[in-house]
Structure 1
Amino acid sequence: MTTPTASTPAATVAETLDALTFAGAREQAHALAEGRVSASALLEHVLARIALFDAELNAVPVVDAERARAAAREADAALARGERRPLLGVPVTVKESFDVAGLATSTGNPAYAGNVATADAPAVAALRAAGAVIVGKSNVPLSLADLQSYNAVHGLTRNPWDPARTPGGSSGGSAAALAAGYVALELGSDIGGSIRIPAHFTGVYGHKPTYGLVSMRGTGVPSGRHAERDLTVGGPMARTAADLELALELLLNRDPLQSKAWRATLPPARHQRLADFRVLLIDHWPGTERTRSERLVGERLLERLRTQGARVSRPQDLPPGLLPDLAAQHRTYRSLLGSSLVEPPPLSDAAQARLAALAPEDRSADAAWLRSFTLPHREWLRDNEHRLALRHQWERLFEAFDVVVTPVAPTPAFAHDHSEPKDARQFPVQYEDGVRPLGFLGLFTWAGLPVLPGLPATSFPLGLDSDGLPIGAQAVGPYLEDRTPIAFAHLLERAYGGFEAPPAFAVGRAL
């Protein structure tokens, strides 16, 4: 449905809503500020799209319609008074794991289905303070621990490009809500690609900030924890790169204790033209066979960057020791990832058997993962020292390069697979000589690359593959220089376009 403003004909409002359905948050905010549409009309349009499409998609299983309507009315009154805030009246949804006052935070676990938050998480409060209208919560996997978004509380979320495929996880509902044209901005979190892989699977943008920049208080279960989640960051997801920068600025400096004494002021992007960027392009993970999707991502990036005049290097062009040992880094990432879990899932019988059979000298990433759930503290300290040393090594590399660009995952979105145990799942992946299975843990190599050293990484779309599925890449930037990979993604967007609407959701826009 559409609701005309007092001075705007209904037909014009419908046309405006049609134009805003897949617009960015900045564009929606401008339309609201200029009076071309009301916050109430835009919200009703969002609610109508959710009602029309979400019975099948199930991206936003928690809709807080009446409180959202009240917030939209307040936004309209504020706009009429001449107030201007970055997101005033813009509808947004947030990942289910973030506390929203009055709504339950369960992370898909039935044991926490009644865990109603009494206050907004600081990141949610930041969006609300900027004028955003919180529509509801988007779906996640159980305990945020999967690349598929389904659970016993809220059910299964499907990919807008193909309902038979996953939109990813753990911010899978977030990505699906953006791609389906529900909202223009989402709040996600990332420890193993949970922002970037769903963005890659659905053709949207996502930013994993530098570790520690965005407060993670008021997230996850059990509630009330004060310790920062090791490796985990909160960050924005959007349909434009510019909206990532807008949202990131709002999310900074929200920790109530830290903000008493210090504030993060991020340096500007290193460059404003693609031709000025020094790019290290990596599209082949060491020790593995390159997939067709990885090859396509590399070829598409190389052609576009060279066309734009960027200086592109490959790993074989580097002097020895400049690029960190990615395999060794991934082993430490797996070790600290497993040991960071407050409530780790029990190992399957097969995994326990593999753990018992490990040779003491086995230093593989798979061995590190199996040992991580019972990691002695002294081993954790050694891994942490390796993490910090890697951060300094990456800093040296970023003296020679501005961004490191890689695939986000070895494959586009795959078909739903809920077989158990999870770590025994095998996913069909296309290689140059045919389709072969890839294990669950093999999906995380690229996504884990910036996580261990705490680097910022921006996931951005690169169009569709030969099967009509979205593919994307990630630009990894220097520590605390988040604006640089976002600017890089924005410049590529300006040159080649970015988000494309899934055909099934590009119809019936103004409802």
Structure 2
Amino acid sequence: MCTLVKNSRVQESDKSQTIFEMTIKILKYFLKCLFIQFHIIFDFLVDFIFGLYYDSKIQKVPPVKNNLLLMSASELAEKIRSRKLSSVEIVTAFIERAKEVNEIINAVVEDRYSDALEEAKEVDKFLQTLENSDLIKEKKPFLGVPFTTKESNEAKGMLHTMGLLSRCTFRSEEDATVIRFVKNAGGILIAKTNVPELNLWTESRNNVYGQTCNPYNTTRNVGGSSGGEAAIISACGSAFSIASDIGGSTRMPAFFSGAFGFKPTEGLTPLKGIGLRKENYPNSMAEAGPICKKAEDLIPILKIIIGEKASLLNLDAEVDIRCLNIFYQESSGDIRTSTVNWEMRTALLKAVQHFKEITGSATKIKIPGSEYSYRLWRFWMTQENFDFKLSITNGKYRASALTELSKFLTGKSELTLAAIIKLIDEDILPREDAEWAKNITTNMKKYLMEKLEHNGILFYPSSPLQTGYHYTAYLRPFNFGYWCLFNVLKFPVCQVPLGVDKNGLPIGIQVVAAPYNDHLCVAVARELEKIFGGWIPPA
């Protein structure tokens, strides 16, 4: 009898515990839904309020008058080799366009137009003496083609301020390795473009060069840190770009400006001369990568900037897209980010549907831990060989949040608000738990590797929202997680433009593959470009 009573009490206790746990789960779900609804309303109010100020100030870049500016870099290179167009004619056209649009978007911060034209003349003279252009295509695939790079990538003799007033007169003594590779491949550097301070913000603004504006709508953000590059490429002021990406710095600006942006598999591109790096760091989340208008340029540029390590990839392999395994994820799951809006979700699902019809299936997944994207990136940045507090003063002293905040509030600081926020993060906010971050990252990699293997592709949102008004990034800091996730994982990923929305702003998606399957990303990018239009001229 006592045993029966005891068992009955245990059962009642278990039942009460179960009811309590269910109540807690329901309450958490309710609070989550409430928070998401609040966030949607908050985002609406942000756009409404900023729109009241900005919408009367909208400009776009003027239409392109010279059709050669619309060609891919590969097509331009072929026309130069075959002498259908001269390098001087092409370089001149891009220089004139860059001058025309830069008054509106402030993307170019230093040019070398005169030197570039002299180099173009030498290319044309050289080609006049050449009988066989096949060798040129192999050795110098971009002979005579103009390109640009971000101000933070070193180029001999050019400014390398990193957006810091304390470095405003610093000039590079040599090229970054990837810039040297492109020059050796025949590319002609015509200019350098704007970045945020030390490449560490999601808008390209600093106290040296000011703010860069979006060519589709000058009241909108171009992203960071390769914002100037994406803007000048999309505006047709350069044939192609060499950017870099440690947390979306290639893909975010490419998305905001409607271009293609590629981050290769980890450890492939040399990093010497990228940012403040004086040597290569093989374990970094950073990679150099291209921004371009046409998907056909991705492989040729990747071959150049990867160099000898290109042999680790199958960049020339034929890809039968019918045999790909397609996966997709509709959102990161982080409730602190903006909700993926209807137009971004529709673009993603249209791409998924197209490939589902080709391959026969498409599987929806949720990467375990993707809701922690920003936190994980924040931890792994502490493992980079980089001292922000010392670098932000150009090595003069170690900056502190309280000191610089006090200077900022009294108008005496040389730093932007973005840099102050980074200092607050370094000095005041608690650190992420290292063991937790490493375990989550390992599990994420394992999960995604098992899904993608050698022939899998993941479609992932480029962003919850299209490009926002200037300064709204301060109110949506966690949206950054959509890009930095793949730096944490170190997987290859391509930002693919899918045209523009009803307001004329770019939309797109990210295409992800397993490490060393970069060619799959490019094959899918080319198919999406063919079906959905890819880059659309801003005007």
TM-score by length of 2: 0.75
Question: Is there any run of 5+ residues in structure 1 with no aligned partner, and where?
Answer: 1-15, 254-258, 317-322, 353-367, 427-438, 504-511
1:343 aligns with 2:388: yes
Q: CA deviation at 1:93?
A: 0.4
Check whether the contact 1:93–1:136 (CA below 8 A) recurs between aligned residues: yes
Check whether the contact 2:77–2:141 (CA below 8 A) recurs between aligned residues: yes
Q: State how far apart, in whole Å, the 2-side matches of 1:371 and 1:113 are.
A: 26
Larger Rg: 2
* Partner AA of 2:351 in structure 1: L
* Partner AA of 2:495 in structure 1: S
What per-residue deviation string (whole Å, max 9, x for no partner) do you get for residues 426-460 of structure 1? Answer: 1xxxxxxxxxxxx21x2112112211111000001
Counterpart of 1:252 in structure 2 is: 306
Q: CA deviation at 1:277?
A: 2.1
* Partner AA of 1:193 in structure 2: G
After TM superposition, the structure 1 = structure 2 runs for residues 15-164 of structure 1, keeping only pairs within 5 Å, are 18-82=66-130, 84=136, 85-164=140-219
Check whether the contact 1:174–1:186 (CA below 8 A) recurs between aligned residues: yes
Q: CA deviation at 1:327?
A: 2.4
Check whether the contact 1:207–1:459 (CA below 8 A) recurs between aligned residues: yes
Change (3 A) 1:371 1:182: closer
Q: CA deviation at 1:384?
A: 4.7
Check whether the contact 1:336–1:372 (CA below 8 A) recurs between aligned residues: no
* Partner AA of 1:138 in structure 2: T
Check whether the contact 1:334–1:369 (CA below 8 A) recurs between aligned residues: no
Check whether the contact 1:270–1:402 (CA below 8 A) recurs between aligned residues: no
Question: Is there any run of 5+ residues in structure 2 with no aligned partner, and where?
Answer: 1-63, 393-398, 406-421
What per-residue deviation string (whole Å, max 9, x for no partner) do you get for residues 226-274 of structure 1? Answer: 5457311111111111211110000113xxxxx6xx7742025786343
Change (3 A) 1:141 1:369: closer
Q: State how far apart, in whole Å, the 1-side matches of 2:431 and 2:372 are.
A: 20
Among 483, 503, 509, the alignment partner of 1:447 is: 483
Counterpart of 1:506 in structure 2 is: none
Q: CA deviation at 1:175?
A: 0.5
Q: State how far apart, in whole Å, the 1-side matches of 2:158 and 2:128 are.
A: 29
Q: State how far apart, in whole Å, the 2-side matches of 1:88 and 1:72 are.
A: 9
Check whether the contact 1:269–1:487 (CA below 8 A) recurs between aligned residues: no
The farther-off stretch of 163-172 and 272-281 is 272-281
Check whether the contact 1:283–1:297 (CA below 8 A) recurs between aligned residues: no
Counterpart of 2:51 in structure 1 is: none
1:217 aligns with 2:286: no
Among 445, 448, 452, the alignment partner of 1:398 is: 452
RMSD: 3.0
What per-residue deviation string (whole Å, max 9, x for no partner) do you get for residues 109-161 of structure 1? Answer: 11112221111111001110110010010111111111211112122111110
Q: CA deviation at 1:224?
A: 3.1
Among 250, 266, 290, the alignment partner of 1:236 is: 290
Counterpart of 2:520 in structure 1 is: 484
Partner-residue secondary structure (3-state), 1:452: helix
Counterpart of 2:314 in structure 1 is: 267
Partner-residue secondary structure (3-state), 2:487: coil
Q: State how far apart, in whole Å, the 1-side matches of 2:87 and 2:512 are.
A: 36
* Partner AA of 1:457 in structure 2: V
1:277 aligns with 2:329: no
1:313 aligns with 2:368: no
Q: State how far apart, in whole Å, the 1-side matches of 2:141 and 2:527 are.
A: 22
Q: CA deviation at 1:389?
A: 5.2
Change (3 A) 1:347 1:464: farther
Q: Percent identity?
A: 25
Q: State how far apart, in whole Å, the 2-side matches of 1:38 and 1:244 are.
A: 23
1:331 aligns with 2:385: no
* Partner AA of 2:536 in structure 1: E
Check whether the contact 2:271–2:279 (CA below 8 A) recurs between aligned residues: no
Change (3 A) 1:129 1:135: same
* Partner AA of 1:244 in structure 2: L
Q: State how far apart, in whole Å, the 1-side matches of 2:285 and 2:504 are.
A: 33
Q: State how far apart, in whole Å, the 2-side matches of 1:76 and 1:416 are.
A: 43
Q: State how far apart, in whole Å, the 2-side matches of 1:291 and 1:397 are.
A: 26
Q: CA deviation at 1:392?
A: 3.5
Partner-residue secondary structure (3-state), 1:61: strand
Change (3 A) 1:290 1:93: closer
Change (3 A) 1:293 1:124: same
Change (3 A) 1:263 1:301: closer
Check whether the contact 2:153–2:274 (CA below 8 A) recurs between aligned residues: yes
1:180 aligns with 2:239: no
Partner-residue secondary structure (3-state), 1:445: helix
Q: State how far apart, in whole Å, the 1-side matches of 2:536 and 2:450 are.
A: 37
Change (3 A) 1:273 1:401: closer
Change (3 A) 1:245 1:17: farther
What per-residue deviation string (whole Å, max 9, x for no partner) do you get for residues 158-193 of structure 1? Answer: 111001111111111101111111112101011121
Partner-residue secondary structure (3-state), 2:453: helix
Among 354, 358, 368, the alignment partner of 1:304 is: 354
After TM superposition, the structure 1 = structure 2 runs for residues 408-447 of structure 1, keeping only pairs within 5 Å, are 408-417=462-471, 425-426=474-475, 439-440=476-477, 442-447=478-483
Q: CA deviation at 1:466?
A: 2.1
After TM superposition, the structure 1 = structure 2 runs for residues 351-370 of structure 1, keeping only pairs within 5 Å, are none
Change (3 A) 1:496 1:309: farther
Counterpart of 2:496 in structure 1 is: 460
Partner-residue secondary structure (3-state), 2:489: coil
Q: CA deviation at 1:36?
A: 1.6
Partner-residue secondary structure (3-state), 2:486: coil
Q: State how far apart, in whole Å, the 1-side matches of 2:231 and 2:266 are.
A: 25
Check whether the contact 2:511–2:525 (CA below 8 A) recurs between aligned residues: yes
Change (3 A) 1:152 1:386: same
* Partner AA of 2:254 in structure 1: A
Counterpart of 2:54 in structure 1 is: none
TM-score by length of 1: 0.79
Q: State how far apart, in whole Å, the 2-side matches of 1:50 and 1:236 are.
A: 19
Q: CA deviation at 1:372?
A: 6.4
